[in-house]
Amino acid sequence: MFKGSMVALVTPFKNGKIDFASLRKLIDFHLENGTDVIVPCGTTGESATMSHDEHKSVLTYVVEYINHRIPVICGAGSNNTEEAIELVRHAKKIGGDGVLVVTPYYNKPTQEGLFRHYEYLAKKVDIPFVLYNVPGRTGVSLAPETAARLSKFDNIVAVKEASGNLDAVSQIISSCSLTVLSGEDSLTMPMLALGAQGAISVTANVVPDLSRRMIHAYLDGDLDESRDLHYKMFPLAKVLFVETNPIPVKTALAMMGKIREEFRLPLCEMSKENREKVRKVIADLGLIPAGKRVKI
């Protein structure tokens, strides 16, 4: 159902509020560059520091502005199952094409608890679900066996694998029908080689065209082109995680003139040393406008 280059969209802020004007420009940037799917309000969208009203308002804005031009997978996860169901229902109500639901963070549920969490949500709301496994952020990992158990629900259709564990990717693909989507940008091509069908990508915020070309080249059988693009983007995929995501990617977008460089505490601006690393990589890719002075 979902494949190709999908962007884990940042949420721009201005003076502490959602910057909807910049959000609209970011969406236009992705539409112009062939991004296949928009994914707002995930980890990269700083959903953890948004109020529920803000979270819902961003989802509503993105779905309504895109207006079915491309699919929207709404970030709708929480460490509280009842809060998650509220967000999932909102995504369904506004016409989202699916929901991205992260494993409950901080609670550290057992595998049975994870199964019951997703089972409850999937039975309550008829919308396509993408499971989201990112143990480095949540403190718990969705086991391939649990993903396979969840694949029996018709509306659980995919899993975003951001564990960095290629063995887990192989286990999921070989044991069930779930579509695997890369959530680890530097490993997207290796995951495609194992059978993944695309990526929900941080890097795509910065280079949507290159991301789309790399993934589609692989899916179309042009391995040399895909490999060349993988290596072209590899330094960017690494530097965008030199500090906690989404700090580096929002810094890069600000350097490119796309958004204001603004975060919500406890996230803050990058160190001077790491800012220079980001600046160099995006400059090498020709992404800083000619003559633009970049604050370091």
Domain of 194, CATH number, reads 3.20.20.70
Residue 263 maps to a domain: no
Residue 35 maps to a domain: yes
Go through 187-198 and write b for each residue having 16 or more CB atoms within 10 A of its CB, e for each that does not: bbbebbebebbb
Q: Residue 161's domain spans which residues?
A: 4-223
Q: What is the pLDDT of residue 164?
A: 94
Q: Where are the alpha helices (DSSP H) in 33-80?
A: 52-66
User: What's the CA gap between 85 and 36, in Å, rounded?
Assistant: 26
Residue 92 maps to a domain: yes
- To the query of whether residue 132 is one of the catalytic residues in this protein, the response is yes
Backbone phi, psi, residue 129, to 5°: -105, 135
pLDDT band at residue 209 using 50, 70 and 90 as cut-offs: very high
Q: What is the pLDDT of residue 259?
A: 97
56, 105, 118, 132: which is the annotated catalytic residue? 132
User: What's the CA gap between 192 and 169, in Å, rounded?
Assistant: 10
Q: What is the pLDDT of residue 293?
A: 59
Mean pLDDT, rounded, of the chain = 96
Two tokens at 241? 């995680």
Question: What is the mean predicted confidence (pLDDT) over 136-163?
Answer: 96
- H or E element that contains 90: helix 81-94
pLDDT higher than threshold 60 for residue 278? yes
Residue 278 maps to a domain: no
pLDDT band at residue 33 using 50, 70 and 90 as cut-offs: very high
Q: Which of 40, 45, 32, 80 is nearest to 60 (CA)?
A: 40
Q: What is the pLDDT of residue 1?
A: 79
pLDDT higher than threshold 80 for residue 151? yes
56, 160, 250, 258: which is the annotated catalytic residue? 160
Q: Which tens digit of pLDDT belongs to each residue from 239-263?
A: 999 999 999 999 999 999 999 999 9
- H or E element that contains 8: strand 4-8
How many angstroms separate the Cα of 159 from the Cα of each of 99, 129, 146, 200, 237? Answer: 11, 8, 11, 10, 20
Greater confidence (290 vs 235) lies with: 235
pLDDT band at residue 289 using 50, 70 and 90 as cut-offs: low
Question: What is the mean predicted confidence (pLDDT) over 108-128?
Answer: 97
Residue 259 maps to a domain: no
3-state helix, strand, coil in the chain (%, to 5): 50, 15, 40
At 90, which amino acid appears? H
User: What's the CA gap between 77 and 97, in Å, rounded?
Assistant: 15
pLDDT higher than threshold 60 for residue 54? yes
How many angstroms separate the Cα of 268 from the Cα of each of 23, 94, 243, 253, 263? Answer: 20, 32, 10, 15, 6
Geometric angle at alpha carbon 71, from 69 and 72, rounded to 5°: 115
Question: What is the mean predicted confidence (pLDDT) over 16-40?
Answer: 98
pLDDT higher than threshold 60 for residue 290? no
Q: What is the pLDDT of residue 233?
A: 97
Radius of gyration, CA atoms only, the chain:
18
| CB contact at 8 A, 1 and 128 | yes
Residue 286 maps to a domain: no
pLDDT band at residue 291 using 50, 70 and 90 as cut-offs: low
Residue 124 maps to a domain: yes
Q: What is the pLDDT of residue 295?
A: 58
How many domains does the chain fold into? 1
pTM (predicted TM-score)? 0.94
pLDDT higher than threshold 90 for residue 131? yes
Question: What is the mean predicted confidence (pLDDT) over 189-196?
Answer: 97
Residue 287 maps to a domain: no
User: What's the CA gap between 21 and 19, in Å, rounded?
Assistant: 6
